[in-house]
Structures are given as structure tokens and as C-alpha cells.
């Protein structure tokens, strides 16, 4: 029974965080018959820098529609990780683009996954445009209440036909990466360390700047 689970998707405005939030929330609300409310950054902060969308999920009525202290954080760039990471829950699940993890954060959680989402999409298509679909694929494997096929159905519905193949490939690549990693090690902390060994900085907690 999920009473209230708060998901924040952050990155640079333009990386498709609004669309990712919409796909996730619509899949949960319409395909999985849960309650879901989606909000997103509005105004100048929706472009460049640190931008976000948020999805609150529940199996009962949702009153306050925004995240108060996220249970799940996606950060696709360093600015958003710095800006939106600090109010996450002590046991939050954090998914960071590997190149965005620069250390010096005041996060309490040790459940931090660094995943090279940009590298995955660049290898696949040579362009960053569907990095949000990669992120959704990774997320679908991290959150057990998210049904990957529901996300796929909404992606097909919400995007123009010409984007369908590219989005599906990106989504599957994100899922695939996580499925392979999971077989290696199910423990997130250890897993994060494994990944960090191959590029990210040390995961030790730092009391840092804001």
C-alpha cells in the first residue's frame, strides 16, 4: 500500500523532464489505476540550468500535489543534483547521470545510483534527445510499483509516430543496463560503489555547501 511516494525528475530544462514526468504520471494514473499528480517547473527555470518535474503517487487520494521531501530523485546534470538533492528523504533512492555526480553533497541517503545515461543514449543514437526515455527505462527497473509496459504504452500514445522507435530503443537500453547491473549486485550501495569505481567520484557523505 503506497500512501504517498514523491518522485522528482531534475536536469537541465530541455532534457525532457516535463515529458518524462507526464509519461510516468499518466501511466500510473490511467494504465495502473493509481492516483498520480504531476507538476513541473514553470517560467524561466523551465529552460536550461536546473529544472524539474514532480510526480506524487498514491493508492489513496493525493492532497498536496508537490513533493515535500522526495523519495526518488533523478538528476541529469550537476546543477540540478546540487539544487534539488538536499531535501530528499534520508533513505531516498537517487539516480544520477554519472557525469553529473561531482561530490560534495549533503545527501543523507546511501542509495545513490550513478548511471551513464548520456553515454547510453549517445552510443545508441549519437544524440542526447531521448535521454529522458533512457532515464525512464532505468527508473522502471528501480521502482517495483512501476510497470514498464504501461510506460511504453503511454510513450506511444503521447509522442508523434516518428519518435516511437527511437524512444522505445532508448527506454529499452535504460532497462537493459539496469537488468544487467542488477544481476551483478542487488545491493544499491555496493552497486553504486561499483559504478563509482568506473568513473564517478567517491560516495562518502560530505557536509557541503547548500
Partner 1 sequence: MVAPQSAAAAAKGGSAPSPRGEWQFLQGNEACALAAVAAGCRFYAGYPISPSSEVAEYLSSLLPRCGGRFIQMEDEIAAMGAIIGGSLAGLKAMTATSGPGLSLKQENLGYACMAEVPCVIINVMRGGPSTGAPTSPAQGDIMQARWGTHGDHPTIALTPGSVDEIYRKTIRAFNLAERFRTPVQLLLDEINGHMREKVWVPAAEDIEIVNRTAPPPPSPGYLPYRLDNKLVPQLAPFGTGYRYHVTGLDHGEDGFPTNDPKERARLHKRLMDKISKFEEELEDYERVDVEDADTLLVAFGSTARSAMGALRTARSQGKRVGLFRPITLWPFPEKAFRQAASRAKRILVAEMNLGQLILEIERLTAPGQEVSGVQRSDGEPINPLQILERL
Q: Which residues bind partner 1 (CB under 8 A)?
A: 22, 25-26, 29-30, 35-40, 42-44, 61-66, 68
Which CB, 147 or 185, lies closer to partner 1?
Answer: 147
Cβ atoms of 198 and 177 closer than 8 Å: no
Toward partner 1, which CB reaches closer, 3 or 144? 3
Q: How far is the CB of 206 from partner 1 (least distance, A)?
A: 27
- 3-class DSSP state for residue 155? helix
* Residue placing its CB nearer to partner 1 in the complex, 62 or 172: 62
- At its nearest, how many Å lie between partner 1 and the CB of residue 77? 21
Crossing angle for the helix pair 164-184 and 117-125, nearest 10 degrees?
130
Decide whether 37 or 148 has the Cβ nearer to partner 1: 37
Please report how close the Cβ of residue 50 comes to partner 1 at its closest, in angstroms.
15
Nearest to 32 by CA among 137, 169, 152: 152
Buried b (16+ CB within 10 A) or exposed e, 32-44: bebbbbbbbbeee
- β-pairing, 5-13 vs 93-97, is unpaired
Distance CA 96, CA 101 (A): 7
- CB of 9: closest distance to partner 1 in angstroms? 14
Displacement of CA 99 from its chain's centroid (Å): 15
Q: Which is nearer to partner 1, 57 or 114 (CB)?
A: 57
Copy the grid coordinates of residue 176: 537493459
Least CB distance from residue 203 to partner 1, whole Å? 30
Amino acid at each position: 500500500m503506497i500512501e504517498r511516494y514523491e518522485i522528482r525528475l531534475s536536469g537541465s530544462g530541455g532534457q525532457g523532464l516535463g515529458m518524462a514526468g507526464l509519461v510516468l504520471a499518466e501511466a500510473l494514473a490511467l494504465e495502473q489505476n493509481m492516483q498520480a499528480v504531476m507538476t513541473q517547473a514553470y517560467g524561466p527555470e523551465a529552460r536550461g540550468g536546473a529544472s524539474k518535474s514532480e510526480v506524487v503517487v498514491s493508492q489513496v487520494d493525493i492532497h498536496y500535489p508537490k513533493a515535500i521531501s522526495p523519495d526518488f530523485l533523478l538528476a541529469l546534470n550537476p546543477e540540478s543534483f546540487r539544487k534539488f538533492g538536499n531535501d530528499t528523504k534520508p533513505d531516498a533512492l537517487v539516480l544520477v547521470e554519472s557525469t553529473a555526480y561531482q561530490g560534495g553533497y549533503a545527501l543523507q541517503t546511501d542509495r545513490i545510483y550513478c548511471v551513464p545515461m548520456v553515454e547510453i543514449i549517445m552510443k545508441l543514437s549519437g544524440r542526447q534527445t531521448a535521454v529522458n526515455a533512457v532515464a525512464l527505462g532505468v527508473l522502471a527497473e528501480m521502482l517495483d510499483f512501476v510497470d514498464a509496459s504501461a510506460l511504453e504504452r503511454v510513450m506511444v500514445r503521447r509522442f508523434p509516430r516518428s519518435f516511437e522507435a527511437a524512444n522505445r530503443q532508448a527506454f529499452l537500453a535504460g532497462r537493459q543496463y539496469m537488468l544487467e547491473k542488477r544481476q551483478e549486485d542487488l545491493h544499491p550501495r555496493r552497486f553504486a560503489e561499483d559504478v563509482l569505481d568506473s568513473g564517478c567520484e567517491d560516495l562518502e557523505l560530505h557536509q557541503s555547501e547548500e
